[in-house]
Structure 1
Amino acid sequence: MKRRSATHAQALLIGGRAGVGKSTVGWEVSARLRAAEVAHAVIEGDFMGQVHPAPEGDPHRASVTERNLRAVWGNYVELGYRRLVYTNTVSVLAESASLFERAMGADVRLVRVLLTATDETTARRLKGREIGSELEHELKNSAYKARLLDERAPADTVRVATDDRAVIDIAREIVAATGWLAAEP
């Protein structure tokens, strides 16, 4: 792969409440991009700040997340990548833009996609995956985050419902929103 500069980085931010399908959709988006031979990297944002205890002065682990994103993205840039698929609950919020600008460059182009689903759908999905002690916490937190995201997602955020839809169809809609299948520059 030919090396490219860090400029003109593009990030597809897939956000949404717990149980909405971010990871599943993110991997299907990646599969569609691979099939079209579109170079990209994928990062599960939840893992970028997963430390305990939180560093002193950083209760939400934002500095850890930023440091890790900057380091991982830097490695991808050295290998020539300039497109990122990033999944994380609140990544679509306006205040997250500065994190991506600092980690990926001030001229990064952000495409925000907010996945949505009903309480019933997300509860069913969470009950299927949370087999440990976190189910009740995840259910409450998911409902809270759904309200927060609905109220605070920027106007340019593409909202995509995931209830009773095939992952392939959801991913097709999201990839179309990126414009990444258009002719390469």
Structure 2
Amino acid sequence: MDGDGAGIFLNGSYGVGKSAVLDHLGDRFAAAGRPFSLFDVDWFHRSWPRAQGDPRNVLTEAENMRAVWANYERVGPRTPIVAGVIASEEDRARYETVFGRRLRIVLLTASPAVSEARLRGRYDEGRQAALDWHLARHEQLASELVSGRWNELILDTDHLAPADVAEVVFHRLDVGPTGTSG
């Protein structure tokens, strides 16, 4: 990533493993001595009520991420590694503006059965409404995301552990131990 200054964006529907892969990709960067900063998009827009004129909280999310990124950049160059959803060119442009760089977008996919099992494992009985919301939407979102021209790499996570997915991303995007990038 240092060679072209790009960041990595782990894109995908609910239950495909974005957050788990994000953690492992951070571990992989650290093991290789590569500076990075992790961003799980969900934690930057979780507030209520939403700002007037921002019904999806995406503008607030972008400003929150921009502020945190500025703090990380202040202490030295690094690769932003982000887990979230890019469903449109507008989304891609917004995130690239936040980080001031091109993002190499990796679409993580999973079969509906695997995504559903992961979602059921994520939410306990007290979070039934959240589970129902995600279950009702994960297949539709997955089908929308797979057609995105912005996805540089598509990985099926059904039979791979998050650490293995991180390893594939690290090497397929040429973020190898030599410090080169593709």
- Structure 1 runs of 4+ with >3 Å offset: 182-185
Alpha-carbon distance, 1:61 to partner = 0.9
How far has the Cα of 1:156 moved from its partner?
Answer: 4.5
Match of 1:65 in 2: 61
Equivalent of 1:96 in 88, 91, 100: 91
Residue 29 of structure 1: aligned partner:
25
Contact in 1 for aligned 2:80/2:99 (Cα 8 Å)? no
For the pair 1:110 / 2:122, whether they are aligned, the reply is: no
Share of identical aligned residues, percent? 28
Letter of the 1:167 partner, please give it. Answer: P
Q: How does 1:8-157 map to 2 (within 5 A)?
A: 9-88=5-84, 90-91=85-86, 93-105=88-100, 108-131=101-124, 132-133=127-128, 134-151=130-147, 153-154=148-149, 156-157=151-152
Normalized against structure 2, the TM-score is what? Answer: 0.88
Unaligned runs of 5+ in 2: none
Deviations 1:26-58 (A, max 9, x none): 111111111111110001111111111111111
Q: Indicate how the Cα distance of structure 1 residues 182 and 109 shifts in structure 2: closer, same or farther if over 3 A, else same.
A: farther
Distance 1:168 1:61, change over 3 A: same
Whole-Å separation in 1 of the counterparts to 2:72 and 2:6: 12
**Gapped runs of 5+ residues in structure 1?**
1-7
Residue number among 159, 164, 168 corresponding to 1:164 in the alignment:
159
Q: CA RMSD in A?
A: 1.8
Q: SS where residue 157 of structure 1 aligns?
A: strand
Q: Find the counterpart in structure 1 of residue 171 from structure 2.
A: 176
1:129-161 C-alpha deviation (Å, 9 max, x unpaired): 11122222111121121111123x115421000
